[in-house]
Amino acid sequence: MDNPTNNLPVQIHLRTDILQDGKKANYVFDMEGQLVEIGNAIYIRYDEEVAGESIPVTIKITGNGDVKITRSGENRSQLMFSEGKRISAVYKTPYGPLDIQTVTLGLDVELLENPLRGTIEISYLLYAGQEMLGKYNISLQFTV
């Protein structure tokens, strides 16, 4: 993956499992997106449909294997994931910013070539201050 690649279309399969207040929720999306390689980072961009609204999402896979997920729209967030670390972030809502933190329990990124494809598995806890908001598992598979 040394060659810079611009805007390759990708097929994305995304599964999110959430445990909040003792309640489980599961979301599965199949969609098209774009993959862009800039330097040693890979960006996967797609639009997530939530309650009839299209929310732009960018996933950045850094050269060291950390992952950043940016969700735009009315509620904007940038969540950073690094195995075993607690990382602060700000969740911007129409009512003002909310300080949150992610604690990455597990992070696995696998990239393969010919055709370019991969999986991203993230397991994390989400906190607002000392209060745990929930436990999340994200599984994203993509194929060019």
Question: pTM of the predicted model, to two decimals?
Answer: 0.89
Q: Is residue 116 part of a domain?
A: yes
Residue 102 in any domain: the answer is yes
Q: Are strands 86-93 and 41-50 parallel, antiparallel or unpaired?
A: unpaired
3 part of a folded domain: no
Structure confidence by residue, pLDDT tens digits, 33-87 = 999 999 899 999 999 887 788 999 999 999 899 999 999 977 889 999 999 999 9
Q: Which residue, 6, 120, 7, 1, is CA-closest to 59?
A: 120
**CA 25 remoteness from chain centre:** 17
Asked whether the predicted pLDDT for residue 5 surpasses 70, the reply is no
Structural domain boundaries, residue 23 = 8-143
Asked if residue 1 is part of any domain, the answer here is no
Residue 97 belongs to a domain: yes
pLDDT at position 76 is 87
Q: What is the pLDDT of residue 2?
A: 45
pLDDT at 48: 86
The CB-based long-range contact list for 123-126 (8 Å cut-off, 24+ gap) reads 124/81, 126/100, 126/101, 126/102
Domain membership of residue 33 (yes or no) is yes
d(CA 85, CA 88): 10
Domain count, the chain: 1
Look up the CATH number of the domain holding residue 134. Answer: 2.40.128.20
- What is the rounded average pLDDT of the residues 97-105? 95
Strand 117-128 relative to strand 76-81, pairing: unpaired
Give CA–CA dist 7/144, Å, rounded.
10
